[in-house]
Amino acid sequence: MAFSEFECWSESGQLECVAVFRPAALDVTSAEEAAAVGFMRPVTRSEAEDAFGRLRDTLTRLGCQTIDLWELLPERERAVSDTTVNRVFVRDTAAVLGRQLVTGTAAFPVRLAEFDVAHRALSQLQPELSSDEVPTSARIEFGDVFVLDAERLLVNVGLRSDARALQPFLELAWRSGFREAAVVRIPESLGIIHLDLAFNVLGPRAVVARAFLRHTPIQVFAQGVAPHWEPFDGYFAQRGCRVIPFEPKGESGFMSNFIYVGPNLILASESASVGLRPLAKEAGIEVASVDIEALERGNGSVRCLTMPLRRRAV
Ligand SMILES: NC(=O)NCCC[C@H](N)C(=O)O
């Protein structure tokens, strides 16, 4: 996949190609190590690799090409990359917004090296920037960003994506061809690190959202006009989209952390799929599932583990 083919104008186009990053070479062996790297529980390299293999195979079976960024890494970057256990959560490091690859900035210091390395791997797919081109980077972790449609982005500012990064991010959004950005603020007291752990797009006509989000009005920005506020559910209703609320239940801690593969199909982890299936059914969406419990111990699931490079509009 060459850079010229990067294109994502929604979360619900047919998924054609994603970047993934194979697990690092280290085990996470204790509660202290897990806390140091933002994991929920220890996990061995071999458990993580088995789960990663299942994820890749499932995506391939569903017709989506996967590019392992590890393959693109220059030899000299591999040693450090192999010690960064969060590199599997490639979603946070960058995103294709329209036809633009935008790189992010890690707010969690243990992820700084891994973000740089992922960007270097991605740059192998991109032509050199000419000196008059503006670099396209933002102080955002991309688990906080959704491409709602060809005109709109949704972004959370909170624990990982700093509100001070918003203005430059909006300018970048306009340059990338978007006309509106909806900004949500997940209360930091909840400890939810990214928006995709509380929200996702189920398809062109429905989203799922943790129930508390209805208490968080959305601030709507458009180029050249003063921002205004809209109720959370009302924002989506106004734009033809239904909000299906949910509360996490039991084992289904990653219910919103799936990826739309299409047509009318999403891919979720096995544990998330249990709670998700009845909600998805309401929107006419099927749920395929894959056992990635070992990777979920790192506090992320299918969406965090995939970075769409190309979606075909449907
Ligand atoms: N988008 C996501 O929610 N990504 C999961 C990142 C988990 C990782 N352990 C972190 O703390 O950054």
H or E element, residue 180? strand 180-184
Domains and CATH numbers, the chain: 14-309 (3.75.10.10)
CA-197 nearest atom, ligand 1: 3
Return d(Cα 314, Cα 38) in angstroms, integer. Answer: 37
Distances (CA, A) of 35 to 7, 112, 120, 159: 36, 16, 27, 16
Helices (H), 176-258: 232-238
CA 90 remoteness from chain centre: 8
For residue range 39-60, list pLDDT tens digits in order.
Answer: 999 999 999 999 999 999 999 9
For residue range 96-148, list pLDDT tens digits in order.
Answer: 999 999 999 999 999 999 999 999 999 998 766 555 565 688 899 999 999 99
For residue range 239-260, list pLDDT tens digits in order.
Answer: 999 999 999 877 668 999 999 9
Name the residue type at position 56: R
Return d(Cα 262, Cα 14) in angstroms, integer. Answer: 5
Based on the number of CB atoms within 10 Å of its own CB, is 135 exposed (0-12), middle (13-18) or buried (19 or more)?
exposed
The residue whose CA has the least distance to atom 5 of ligand 1 is 300
Q: What confidence score (pLDDT) does residue 249 get?
A: 76
Count Cβ atoms below 10 Å from residue 7 Cβ, excluding itself: 18
The residue whose CA has the least distance to atom 1 of ligand 1 is 143
Which of 114, 193, 269 most suits a substitution to test ligand 1, by most atoms within 8 Å of the C-beta? 193
Which of 254, 299, 302, 307 most suits a substitution to test ligand 1, by most atoms within 8 Å of the C-beta? 299
Q: Is the ipTM of this complex over 0.90?
A: yes
Distances (CA, A) of 255 to 104, 112, 153: 24, 27, 21
Phi first, then psi: what are they for 239, rounded to 5°?
-110, 25
The residue whose CA has the least distance to atom 10 of ligand 1 is 38
CA-298 nearest atom, ligand 1: 9
Pocket of ligand 1 (CB under 6 A): 38-39, 86, 89, 91-92, 108, 111, 143, 193-194, 196-197, 298-300, 304
Tokens of 52: 């990663």
